[in-house]
Amino acid sequence: MSSAIAAREIRRSYGDRAALDGFTLEVPAGSIFGVLGPNGSGKSTFLALVAGAERPPSGTLTILGEAPHPRLRARIGTVFQENASDPLMSPREYLLFAATLFGVEGRAARRRADELLERFGLAGRANDPISTLSGGTRRRLEAARALLHRPELLLLDEPTTGVDPEERRLLWETVRAERGGATVLLATNDLHEADAVCDLVAFVQAGRVVAAGAPAELKRDLRRQAVRVELNAPDPGTVERIAAEAGLDRVTVLDGEVLVMTDDATALVPRLFAAAGNAIRGLRIEEASLEDAYFQYIQRRAEAVR
């Protein structure tokens, strides 16, 4: 499969801070590709570089088979983190205005705008001021605007932040139906969303890609089950005893909870109780998730916990 985006050893800094530090990634054409990482990891910087079709200060970038240049922007649709719509416009006015920027005019623009308003469930609010729309409705409008000119590459930067589950489902159903064969590059902190919608994902930390692959492959690389241990008062001594019992490479601490990956939770759990005693407040066993894979790569392990 050809690449919609190919990045090699990209470096970009803001003052003394390196936003991208050897960033290397290949996004297959036609895929829905998720870029996952903590705030400040570089994922939004990379999307902005692609959205602007800019040449990176260092390294190489190819977009839709070409070196970056301004004309490529006409082949790209973008949903930014923040809503870009004018609150004084109506949804129909906003889409028709966007259409002129991408060379869609006249009857074709009106037909396409009305089609997207209908598909995204916005037809009934087409002439209302955008300022009266809910947050989720405005995110659907942003997605409609990004798809209006039928782009070959769709960039979504945390498109469902603050959106309720029903709005999220509607947005993704419509994006999938309307994208045609377009490649989708999604930057998100929502691991459950990425697991549900992405063909491939990349984990990003400190401006670098630290792991990439299909969600199923990344989960398969883990031990089969996740044991989540909630402690009464997490302390290094208790965590060290759990790590000594389970194996240091299997243990991650996140949000005050100890995550242990194992092939046999039934055999491990009694040993954890023996090691931690009354320090354990609760424990649950789950199948490994994309979130577990993410934290295995991104989060510091128990040996780094103070």
Per-residue pLDDT tens digits for 154-190: 999 999 887 888 888 889 999 999 998 999 999 998 8
In the beta sheet, which residues pair with residue 32? 184
User: What distance in Å separates the CA atoms of residue 68 and residue 54, rounded to the nearest whole number?
Assistant: 5
In the beta sheet, which residues pair with residue 127? none
What average pLDDT score do residues 233-239 get?
Answer: 82
Strand ranges in the chain using DSSP code E only, listed in sequence order: 3-14, 17-28, 32-36, 58-63, 76-79, 153-157, 183-188, 200-205, 208-213, 225-231, 251-254, 257-262, 280-287
What average pLDDT score do residues 231-236 get?
Answer: 81
Q: What is the pLDDT of residue 23?
A: 97
Is 70 exceeded by the pLDDT of residue 223? Answer: no
Helix, strand or coil, per DSSP, at residue 120: coil
Is 50 exceeded by the pLDDT of residue 224? Answer: yes
What average pLDDT score do residues 89-99 get?
Answer: 96
pLDDT tens, residue by residue, 272-300: 998 888 889 899 988 778 887 887 777 64
H or E segment to which residue 68 belongs? none
Residue type present at position 253? V
Instruction: Read off φ and ψ for residue 97, nearest 5 degrees.
Output: -65, -45
In the beta sheet, which residues pair with residue 5? 27, 63
Residue type present at position 302? A
**255 to 84, 105, 259, 295: CA distances (angstroms):** 34, 51, 10, 11
Is 50 exceeded by the pLDDT of residue 301? Answer: no
Question: How confident is residue 304, by pLDDT bands cut at 50, 70 and 90?
Answer: very low
Q: What is the pLDDT of residue 221?
A: 66
User: What distance in Å separates the CA atoms of residue 207 and residue 19, rounded to the nearest whole number?
Assistant: 5
Q: Say what the pTM is.
A: 0.79
Q: What angle do CA 199, 203, 207 make, to 5 degrees?
A: 135
Which of the pair, 89 or 235, is modelled with greater confidence? 89
Is 90 exceeded by the pLDDT of residue 209? Answer: yes
Average predicted confidence (pLDDT) for the chain: 89
Question: How confident is residue 259, by pLDDT bands cut at 50, 70 and 90?
Answer: confident
